[in-house]
A and B are shown apart, each in its own frame.
Chain A
Amino acid sequence: MLEISLHVLDIVNNSVKAGADLIGITICEDKQQNLLSIDITDNGCGMDEAFLRSVTDPFKTTRTTRKVGMGLSLFKSAAEATGGSLSIASEKGKGTSVHVRFVYDHIDRQPLGDMAQTITTVLSGNPSIDFLYRHTVDGKEFLLDTHEIRQILGDVELSQPEIIVWLVDYITEGLQEISQSA
């Protein structure tokens, strides 16, 4: 993947497939700690322990039809290439959380990329899932809660193109604001 935000999109789609109706996406850019961390948390079907052990092992992939490996192992190797890590906590029937750490200034770290596009993509594709997107840059925070958005929209669907186009701009501006150095 060219951007970390594309991995995020792919991993959020796992949560969608797991039947979650609440998904948290937290991005934390902390230049002082030289850390970019990403947390994707869901209340979907979860995984049992045995499966969880094999899912983080990139060599356990059974897929032969794709040159692109499975999503989790791809994300894991991208993080590890910077000296970071990917870990998963999951409980069958309760949910899953994926925690990824990148070394911020490592030369092999992909750019974070367009988070506004990733967020609006998952929002527009999943009208019955609530998303909580929290993004901090050196302590400054941007927050998007679809529960709040849907309350404003009432019976106008969030997935309408007009709304999505507005949301892309809204998130882009919000992220620009927290990224400006004081």
Chain B
Amino acid sequence: MKSLAELEAIKNRMKNQVGMRKDDDTNTTRIVVGMATCGIAAGARPVLNALVEEVGKRNLAHVTVAQTGCIGMCKFEPIIEVMAPGKEKVTYIKMTPEKAIKVISEHIVNGRVCNEFTIGAEQE
């Protein structure tokens, strides 16, 4: 059974780690998930949680996952946006937890945009 004492131990471990995540870091890649009513209804919550879990698992210190309101294309929800420093923003649509994990491994880690999930692919 988990207790808050365990949380204290995790905190102490993390405090000693160098390079804790900082949102203001110019090296940071930001992943943003649309979490308005339309996004939530379409399945944004498990997408967000898959992203957070994967970033934690892979210990990606320069990646943050944030939430935003309506991105304005409700029929394409769940939508995520990836903003890497010095790169153009990439918008992924109709996300699932599985696709989101692929975005982490392909795009975030290996630097290859997953074109098949972008809005451009949908409109072709």
Q: How far is the CA of A9 from the CA of B10 in the complex (A)?
A: 27
Interface size class of A (residues with CB under 8 A): 35 or more
Task: With CB as the reference atom, state the residue of chain B lying closest to A127.
Answer: B23
Contact residue range for chain B? 20 to 34
Q: How far is the CA of A118 from the CA of B65 in the complex (A)?
A: 16
Please encode chain B, from 74 to 95, with 1 for each CB lying within 8 Å of some chain A CB and 0 for all others: 1100000000000000000000
Are the CB atoms of A9 and B45 closer together than 8 Å?
Answer: yes
* Interfacial residues of chain A within 102-148, with CB under 8 A of chain B in the complex: 114, 117-118, 120-121, 124-125, 148
Q: Are B37 and A152 in contact (CB under 8 A)?
A: no
Question: Which residue from chain A places its CB closest to the CB of B13 in the assembled complex?
Answer: A162
Find out whether the CB atom of A121 lies under 8 angstroms from the CB atom of B37. Answer: no
Q: In residues 136-182 of chain A, which contact B (Cβ within 8 Å)?
A: 148-149, 152-157, 160-166, 168-170, 173-174, 177
Bound-state Cα–Cα, A166 to B11, Å: 11
Chain A residues in 8 Å Cβ range of B36: 13
Contact among B14, B35, B38, B45 with A117 in the assembled complex (CB-CB below 8 Å): B45
A10 touches B52 (CB 8 A): no
In the complex, given contacts A66-B37, A68-B74, A124-B65, what are 13 additional A-B residue pairs having Cβ atoms less than 8 angstroms apart?
A: A66-B38, A67-B75, A68-B38, A71-B37, A121-B45, A125-B67, A148-B4, A152-B8, A152-B11, A156-B11, A156-B14, A157-B20, A161-B55
Q: Using a CB–CB distance below 8 Å, which chain B residues touch chain A?
A: 1-2, 4, 6-8, 10-11, 14-15, 20-21, 35-38, 40-41, 45-46, 48-49, 52-53, 55-57, 65-67, 69, 74-75
The 5 closest A-B pairs by CB, nearest first: A161-B56, A125-B67, A170-B2, A71-B37, A156-B11
